Structure 1
Amino acid sequence: MKSIAIAAMLLLPCAATAQVYKCKGSSGETVYSQNPCARDSKPHDVRAGRAATATPAEAANRQSVFKSTDISDAGIAERNCLVSARKRIYGPSDQRIAGYERQVQNLNREASLARNNLAGATYDAGIRNQLSGLQQSITAERVSADSQMSTATQQCAETKRKQVEAIEARYTPAANQTN
């Protein structure tokens, strides 16, 4: 009988829960104490923390969020790839076109000064020939840049497609991968 009483006494501290009181400190801050702060203090309910393991639904939701985030990151990487290609391709191309257009303006100004005689007509024809060549250069520059950008767009899209494939494989359960 004495051993039962000792065992019961040893179990009592484990079974008992400590009282926690929520109080206001001297500066108005919240203070928690195991002793009552005032005569009318009442114990504060303390909730247990979340379980260390997630439920299957929580784990599936977390996986879904991670997968969605990874796919969004792949989309952002594709957009960054396109922006970089656009700068790399159209930047220099636009500068060359701007140079051609300045030459066109200068030639148009010179053509307006040509005299209205045979020498002036010959001079004007030469200028018009140069203008035509510059217009062809501008067109060729634009076609080349557009072609390069089309290739870069395909490469960026292919890179994203491969990333999304890898993401899909990473987040697909192993049982589905063997089928």
Structure 2
Amino acid sequence: MLSRVLFAAVAIVASQSAAGQVYKCKGGAGETVYSQEPCSPKAEPMKLRSNRASAESAGEAANRAAVYQTTELADAGIAERNCVSGEQRRIYGPVDARNQEVSRQIANLNRQLATAKNNLAGATYASGLRSQIASLQQAQSAERIAADSQMAAARQRCATERGERERAVREKHSATSPAN
């Protein structure tokens, strides 16, 4: 209970220090009461002191700037990871969906191949099925290679954007550092 009263008193003192005067009084039970109204005609306002220096030291400013710069540089790294992740979904998502469909087609052709008769007509039929399977596999491979190439370009683009963002952060903080 005492800690709540003390906390409330400190809160009042802190909030009122900028807005007006604070008076320290004795309550009816002898407890200390803080008020922005005088308790008696002879009451004088408290002299408030701040525990913090009125101005930020150069060291504090440098530390604050370093924290801001580190945070902004970390944000640039996060933005790059988000960029790469978004590009992966954009590039590989449709490719993976098409590859699943092609894989189903290949599985179906392999089932048909297993039922081919062991005669000249069956051999011709099996050869046609193998040709279709090879064609589908080649298309799958070419599409994956093209997607890998697009992804490499996207990774480079995301890395370039990160580098530009980091350069801008460093320039910003070197221009605002207390040493300048």
Question: Is TM more than 0.5 here?
Answer: yes
Residue identity in the other structure for 1:147: S
What RMSD, in angstroms, separates the aligned Cα atoms of the two structures?
2.8
Which of 107, 124, 129 pairs up with 1:105? 107
User: What residue in structure 2 maps to residue 3 of structure 1?
Assistant: none
Alignment of 1:59 with 2:61, yes or no, is yes
User: What residue in structure 1 maps to residue 25 of structure 2?
Assistant: 35
Residue identity in the other structure for 1:35: C
Distance 2:169 2:153 in 1: 24
Describe the SS at the equivalent of 1:35.
Answer: strand
Describe the SS at the equivalent of 2:26.
Answer: coil
Per the alignment, do residues 174 and 63 of structure 1 end up closer, same or farther by CA in structure 2, a change over 3 Å counting? closer
Which of 124, 127, 130 pairs up with 1:125? 127
Distance 1:58 1:68 in 2: 15
Listed as ranges, the gaps of 5+ residues in structure 1 are 1-22
Q: Contact 2:25 / 2:32 at 8 angstroms: preserved in 1? A: no
Shift in Å, 1:51: 2.7
Q: 1:137-148 residue pairs with structure 2 within 5 A?
A: 137-148=139-150
Give deviations 1:125-167, integer Å, cap 9, x for gaps: 0000011111101111111111100000000000000110111
Distance 2:73 2:106 in 1: 48
Describe the SS at the equivalent of 1:105.
Answer: helix
TM-score scaled to structure 2, two decimals?
Answer: 0.74
Which of 157, 160, 167 pairs up with 2:159? 157
User: Rg bigger for which structure?
Assistant: 1
Give deviations 1:106-132, integer Å, cap 9, x for gaps: 100110111111101110000000111
Listed as ranges, the gaps of 5+ residues in structure 2 are 10-22, 34-47
Distance 1:142 1:166 in 2: 36
Shift in Å, 1:40: 7.2
Residue identity in the other structure for 2:26: P
Q: Contact 2:24 / 2:32 at 8 angstroms: preserved in 1? A: no
TM-score scaled to structure 1, two decimals?
Answer: 0.75
Task: Give the fraction of aligned pairs with identical amino acids, expressed as a percent.
Answer: 40
- Number of aligned positions between the proteins: 151
Which of 76, 80, 83 pairs up with 1:81? 83
User: What residue in structure 2 maps to residue 8 of structure 1?
Assistant: none
Distance 2:54 2:92 in 1: 54
Give deviations 1:30-83, integer Å, cap 9, x for gaps: 15371234777689xx75242332100000000001101110111111011001
Distance 1:113 1:52 in 2: 89
Distance 2:166 2:24 in 1: 54
